[in-house]
Chains A and B, each alone.
Chain A
């Protein structure tokens, strides 16, 4: 008997089981398609400024969906997703800085800091292929190495969260302090072209938006399949009882490493797209505070729901954009309250709320009215 043992209580909801996947055929599917079609028409429905915001938030939603896999399904809380977001962002930003230069020239901030040669780790990013691969491979490789080193010694839970936070702190401080080669606190900005496309034109903006939207849809479908697969089942089993899975003969380490790596790759992709939309990447986007804010997007939306994560990312960031520009002080109080309230009162997030509502008799009727088909 050890009542003193405290386990993370598994939260309800989440597992995308075969039953739910089957139910998704028919009218709910049509609803999803209509939603995507509406999003695809956004360039003609909203202003250029709003489109840019939407594009940024959709890029962040890629990262949020990764967190659903890592945190919701894997039970691994990462407070360092900003690191991988930053690595992706800096990889593409370095390429864009170099692509705008002639042979042998240096980016302006390096010249101002008195550097007379390109740092060696900048050189490969001259090539567009290396930069594109770097966006996913650098965060992926770092995440795989890091998480393998920690998980293989069975260090997890709160310890892992604290170590990832230290990682975020170290990464942001390093970026700021290595000003001559990273652009320091200001980061990298002022991009002209990417892969030969001139940035800032309506055509480029629309194209990048659609690219982001397509990736969000693709990742949604892929992660949904992954979560419904045998791998997803085992990942959730590890979350709920790691030692039981060990006794059944599985080694949990690779499962968790794979989840964390996929999360990091998605974060890197998100960072690169965000950098393209925002036109800047800087340490202010990658440190301790932004990293933990990323977790709250998912907490608000629902840690076990991909759709919830996308919705949560959009909701929190829209609120941030609205509130923080008008009342900057108020925003931090609001954000703090959101952390406290969502976690204590609504651990399933918005998605959990929807699931609970549709489970009530009144909600069931409403649901059958909207999507039909359900029992």
Chain B
């Protein structure tokens, strides 16, 4: 195996990591754009999705179990999101930093609950047969390059979610309301839009997508009580890079973070890659503090 398959393999890895980040970060970015709050328990929505996938597969074994798990995880995480939003985040909406701390408390409780229910070691979700193989390039420049089917599946899920979401935002009535509140909350409220309902539905949608991400995550490794934590910090950096509440910005930022981590890992180990990623983010905001895609606004404190 020469150098090219290695680089191509890492680029492919970068894309598949990026698709996980985009699924994890979309919910964060959407509600951040709308409400200026970050939900630190978002990683636990991934975890929840993973455990729900595990439970669904106990009930529905067989090749289609994983497909059945996706709506279950989506709805389960969205329901928990609804509780979280109405019980906590709504009350703290004018204090973003306090929301950060309170939701961190929720994250601690959810992690410990998972530890008590499912054990600290974690549970395995076996990929079905139709995902349990890999494609290997037989000859040519990229000879030896192996692409596991699960990774392709993750890419497909990410693209499907992105497509559905942009369709929802661009051409439905709900999307219109979301965009209106995103642009000018006060004006939207004055025009008779139920701003609170929009907040709640976007938040639920975001946690639901995170639940979905948890299902695909479960295909890659065991679901542990702190599986969400390892994905959520890069997802936070994606939000920082992406710009306020922009779908396109989040997608591009995920790609940047995913590809950067994957390519840097050709040269250095994982921990140094993390340090370099952080330096990259700090460097990036020197040039574009408003993020990849800046949403134009006249609001000074936006």
**Shortest beta-carbon distance from B252 to chain A in Å:** 17
Would A153 and B289 be within 8 Å (CB), given that A77-B100, A162-B240 are in contact?
Answer: yes
Beta-carbon contact of A299 and B106 below 8 Å: no
Binds A, one of B51-59, B89-97, B137-145, B158-166: B89-97
> Beyond A2-B186, A336-B108, is A161–B94 a contact (Cβ under 8 Å)?
no
In the bound complex, how far is the Cα of B239 from the Cα of A77, in angstroms? 17
A236 to B: closest C-beta gap in Å: 15
Shortest Cβ distance from A84 into chain B, in angstroms? 15
Across-interface contacts of A176 in B (CB, < 8 A) = 271
A163 within 8 A of B: yes
The answer to whether B285 touches A153, judged by C-beta atoms less than 8 angstroms apart, is yes
Q: Is A166 an interface residue (CB 8 A)?
A: yes
Interface segment, one of A91-99, A251-259, A327-335: A327-335
By beta carbon, the residue of chain B nearest A328 is B112
Whose C-beta in chain A lies nearest to the C-beta of B226?
A: A289
Contacts of B203 in A (CB 8 A): none
Chain A residues with Cβ below 8 Å from B286 are 149, 153
Which residues on B sit within 8 Å (CB–CB) of A165?
233, 236
- Among listed B16-24, B123-131, B149-157, B273-281, interface-contacting one: B273-281
Whether the pair B240, A174 counts as a contact (CB closer than 8 A) is no
- Which residue on B lies nearest to A345, using beta carbons? B91
Q: Name the A residues within 8 Å of B106 (CB-CB).
A: 336, 339-340
Assembled-state Cα–Cα distance A8/B100 (Å): 12
Q: Please count how many residues in chain A sit with their CB below 8 Å of the partner chain's CB atoms.
A: 52
Judge whether A213 is part of the interface by a CB distance below 8 angstroms: no
Q: How many Å lie between the Cα of A336 and that of B108 in the bound state?
A: 5
**Chain B residues with CB under 8 A of A292:** 101, 104
- Asked whether A150 is an interface residue with its Cβ less than 8 Å from the other chain, the reply is yes
Binds A, one of B3-11, B167-175, B294-302: B294-302
Q: Is A6 an interface residue (CB 8 A)?
A: yes
Indicate if the CB atoms of B94 and A6 lie closer than 8 Å: yes
**In the assembled complex, which residues on chain B have CB atoms less than 8 Å from the CB atom of A332?**
108-109, 111-112
Does B239 lie within 8 Å of A162, measured CB to CB? yes
How many A-B contacts at CB < 8 Å in the complex?
A: 157
- Chain B: which residue is nearest A154 at the CB level? B289
Q: Are A344 and B91 in contact (CB under 8 A)?
A: yes
Residues of B with C-beta under 8 A to A158: 32, 36-38, 96-97, 100
Query: 1/0 per position for B258-272, CB-CB distance to A under 8 A?
Result: 000000000001111
Which chain B residues border A9 with CB–CB below 8 Å? 94-95
Cα(A339)–Cα(B106), bound, Å: 8
Q: With the chains together, A5 CA to B300 CA distance in Å?
A: 8
How far, in angstroms, from A320 to B102 measured CA to CA in the complex? Answer: 19
Nearest chain A CB to B84's CB is how many angstroms away? 11
A3 touches B116 (CB 8 A): no
Which among B95, B237, B289, B302 is the interface contact of A8 at CB below 8 angstroms? B95
Which residues on the A side are within 8 Å of B101 (C-beta)?
A: 77, 292, 295-296, 299, 339, 343
Query: Does B176 interact with chain A (Cβ within 8 Å)?
Result: no
In the docked arrangement, what's the CA distance between A5 and B298, Å?
10
Q: Contact between B112 and A329 (Cβ–Cβ < 8 Å)?
A: yes
Any chain B CB within 8 A of the CB of A155?
A: yes
Whether B179 is near chain A, meaning CB under 8 Å from some CB there, is: no
- A13 CB–B CB distance under 8 Å: no
Say yes or no: A173 contacts B105, CB within 8 Å: no
Chain A 67-83 against B: per-residue CB contact (8 Å), 1 yes, 0 no? 00000000101010000
Q: Known A9-B94, A165-B233; judge A339-B301 contact (CB<8 A).
A: no
Residues of B near A295 (CB, < 8 A) are: 101
Q: Name A141-181 residues within 8 Å CB distance of B.
A: 146, 149-150, 153-155, 157-159, 161-163, 165-167, 169-170, 173-174, 176-178
13 additional contacts (CB under 8 A) given A7-B94, A169-B233, A177-B271: A4-B299, A8-B97, A9-B94, A79-B100, A154-B289, A158-B97, A162-B237, A162-B239, A162-B240, A165-B233, A166-B281, A299-B101, A332-B111
Binding site for A on B (CB under 8 A): 32, 35-38, 88, 91-98, 100-102, 104-109, 111-112, 115-116, 181, 184-189, 229, 233, 236-237, 239-240, 269-272, 274-275, 277-278, 281-282, 285-286, 289, 298-302
Binding site for B on A (CB under 8 A): 1-9, 75, 77, 79, 146, 149-150, 153-155, 157-159, 161-163, 165-167, 169-170, 173-174, 176-178, 243, 288, 292, 295-296, 299, 329, 332-333, 335-340, 343-344, 347
Can you name 6 A-B residue pairings with CB atoms under 8 Å?
A: A2-B299, A149-B286, A150-B282, A166-B236, A292-B101, A340-B102
Q: Which 8 A-B pairs have the closest CB atoms?
A: A339-B105, A3-B186, A4-B185, A177-B271, A336-B108, A336-B109, A153-B289, A332-B112
